[in-house]
Structure 1
Amino acid sequence: MNKRFALVAGIIALSMIIPATQVFAAGQGEREVSQQLVVGLSLPTQREERWVRDRETMIAEAEAAGIDLRVAVADADMAQQASQVENLLAQGIQVLILAPHDAQAAASLVEEAAADGVPVISYDRLILSQDVDVYLSFDNERVGELQGEFITNLVPSGNYIVMSGAPTDNNAALFKRGAMKYIQPLADAGDINIVTERAVDNWLPENALNIVENALTASNNQIDAILAPNDGTAGGAIQALSAQGMAGQVPITGQDAELSAVRRIVEGTQSMTIFKDTRELGKAAIEAAIILAQGGNVETNNVVEGVPSLLLTPHIITEDNIDLLIDSGYLTRAQIFN
């Protein structure tokens, strides 16, 4: 049992205050279809492996807890996410789990939910709104610190490409802030020359590809290290390096422990990634939804931008500790090495 949320006790208590109506469906036996806890889940994308995992975990956890989880995916479109959230609210959801495409714009959705008396869980990405009930994520500044410390230890001087994530994502600013704690002092001292410093719109690998291609051209291929904010952008950067016969020669960071990235680490074209166990985050979100539906307070360990927050711990992954992913069951040996 997760002591932070007391899930089992929460489910028992919930069953006492929200009775379920039992009906029969042909071939399916007895099942609960009404008076369930109804939770809305709004995700920004399914283009990246980690967001697919988040969705799958929450669906499984909700099913196990007898929760009616209604899922919407915005496909990196804030207007679409706004429409989807309004639709979820119209369906009478009791709690909203919202991972925003745009941290600023999503504040209006939180206000709409609050007006309907619906608690909001800001999931993985912080919504910049004081009406958020709780923020669940990883220590994202620490993620950036792990990336920055790693790359500067490996390459303490030379030409750097510095990329950050989507400007609409508050996490991107936290990742970069953490990384620059290590990179900026060396740049100020003249040891590191930042050839280009760009944000990657929508986290798209093709945008990272273009940034790195242009930087390689401008520097006559004289690049010594690349700060890539996640595994998708690292993949785009590596594609650009491959076109110049440089893949594996330039250390590059990543994040999310995507299968493709872990395989690149084994191959030697990507130097590291960050393991954020989204299974734990997804479970925490469902547990928090149960507690908020009962009018309780989710136990937290931090406050971010004035919002009570539960921040989980990220872990660095290199070729030396890939077994951490295997031992945890996040990936299998066969997936990685076959």
Structure 2
Amino acid sequence: MPVKAYRCGAAALAAVCLAAGLAACGEAGESGASRRGGPTIGLLLPDIQVSRYETFDRPLIEKKVKELCPECTVKYANAKGDVAAQHQQVDSMITSGVRVLLIDVVDAASLRSSIVKARDAGIPVVAYDRIADGPVSAIVAYDLVEAGKEQSEALLRALGDKARSAQIVMLDTPPVIQETVLRTKGSLSALQGKVRAVRTYTVGALGAERAYSGMSDAIADLGADNIDGVVASNDLMASGAISALKAAHISPLPPVTGMDTELTAVQRIVQGEQYMTVYKPYKPEADAAAEIAVLLARGRRINHIAKDQINSPTTQGIPAVVLTPIPVTVDNIKDAVVKDGTYTIDQICTPKFASACEKAGLTY
């Protein structure tokens, strides 16, 4: 299989947390209790600000592990965006004797030493959703170059004939972060030569508040009438950008694209405030990660599942499952996120959005 060109510079950016103290390190818990003393799989997720991790990723992974390995135990912790907490959680997982560690890193470069420590303890590490530095055994993630490309291509469709003269604002995190490099590469490749200019505003972290500040800077620099479209790293940042545009009384709003398909983003799309989000279906990613983790826990090969390869800044040819993201606009919400059960019509179409939903054809 061809090696995915996922290469970028390393990101610049502990005490052991005992089982009794794991809650202080990130809402730790266990599920799928062992029936016959089977292997334990450690699951570490990065934050609670983005709703997907607690709402989708954790329960889906736990469910799939239970289905594939009834005797397995899943030991869980969430870092809540804290690199130091995730270091402590890795230490705790090693101390408790997990057979495999499934981790979505808060920061790839900063967690490298912990991944090396796990490897040295004989524990295979599977990077989930984000590429991790260090000696990982496998990666399960979506193609972020394609995701960035989908964002920009959607923006071009929204602009139509106005694209050639358009000034686009990109709101992104620092380019030392691998995901930023990949997403930006895809976005710029789609915009190159098709718009008048792209102005990038770098914010310190993913989040609505930082994006609001970055978008406010863009409005002050470029002028309220000179912003024709916005590409935001994720839906939280799209939310902040939209709030800043509205605070500046810019109407109609320019098309804004995001990523992650937060429920609030879907509702903004229905309402016409956000143009598009990139959907990375949670179940295929969670299922693939769980299957790889169970196989590694049982000492089995994963090459029949991890058929792709990814190069990280530290390791070449890592076995991987690379999934294809889906662009979502008002035209395909029902087919994309309702049909597969991510959200129901009732969840999307609360009374506040009822008339917009009816107009968009979001009815049973």
TM tier relative to shorter chain: 0.7 to 0.9
For residues 229-273 of structure 1, the C-alpha deviation after alignment (integer angstroms, 9 at most, x for no partner) is 111110110111111223652101011111100000000000001
SS of the aligned residue for 1:303 comes to strand
Equivalent residue for 1:301?
307
Q: Which one of the candidate residues 176, 189, 193 is aligned to 1:185?
A: 193
Equivalent residue for 2:184?
176
The reply to whether residue 334 of structure 1 matches residue 349 of structure 2 is: no
Q: Which one of the candidate residues 201, 205, 209 is aligned to 1:206?
A: 209
The reply to whether residue 42 of structure 1 matches residue 64 of structure 2 is: no
Normalised by the length of structure 2, the TM-score is 0.79
Q: Which one of the candidate residues 215, 232, 245 is aligned to 2:218?
A: 215
Change (3 A) 1:166 1:56: farther
The reply to whether residue 230 of structure 1 matches residue 241 of structure 2 is: no
Query: Which stretches in structure 2 are left out of the alignment for 5+ residues?
Result: 1-32, 351-364
Q: Which one of the candidate residues 77, 85, 88 is aligned to 2:82?
A: 77
SS of the aligned residue for 1:96 comes to strand
Paired with 2:212 and 2:61, the residues of 1 have a C-alpha distance of 32
Equivalent residue for 2:3?
none
Equivalent residue for 2:98?
93
What is the one-letter code of the residue matched to 2:117?
Answer: E
What is the one-letter code of the residue matched to 1:151?
Answer: L
Question: Aligned pairs, how many?
Answer: 302
SS of the aligned residue for 1:246 comes to coil
What is the one-letter code of the residue matched to 1:46?
Answer: I
Q: Please state how far the C-alpha of 1:62 moved relative to its aligned partner.
A: 3.2
The two structures, once aligned, show a CA RMSD in angstroms of 1.7
For residues 97-122 of structure 1, the C-alpha deviation after alignment (integer angstroms, 9 at most, x for no partner) is 01111111222121111101000101
Q: Please state how far the C-alpha of 1:282 moved relative to its aligned partner.
A: 1.3
What is the one-letter code of the residue matched to 1:232?
Answer: L
Normalised by the length of structure 1, the TM-score is 0.85
The reply to whether residue 315 of structure 1 matches residue 326 of structure 2 is: yes
Change (3 A) 1:291 1:167: same
> What percentage of residue pairs aligned between the two structures are identical?
29
What is the one-letter code of the residue matched to 2:344?
Answer: T
Paired with 2:176 and 2:65, the residues of 1 have a C-alpha distance of 29
Q: Please state how far the C-alpha of 1:172 moved relative to its aligned partner.
A: 2.1
Bigger shift: residues 31-40 or 110-119: 31-40
Q: What is the correspondence of 1:44-59 to structure 2 with a 5 Å cutoff? A: 44-52=46-54, 53-59=56-62
Bigger shift: residues 32-41 or 237-246: 32-41
Q: What is the correspondence of 1:5-24 to structure 2 with a 5 Å cutoff? A: none
SS of the aligned residue for 1:162 comes to strand
Q: Please state how far the C-alpha of 1:179 moved relative to its aligned partner.
A: 0.6
Q: Please state how far the C-alpha of 1:214 moved relative to its aligned partner.
A: 1.2
Q: Please state how far the C-alpha of 1:84 moved relative to its aligned partner.
A: 1.1
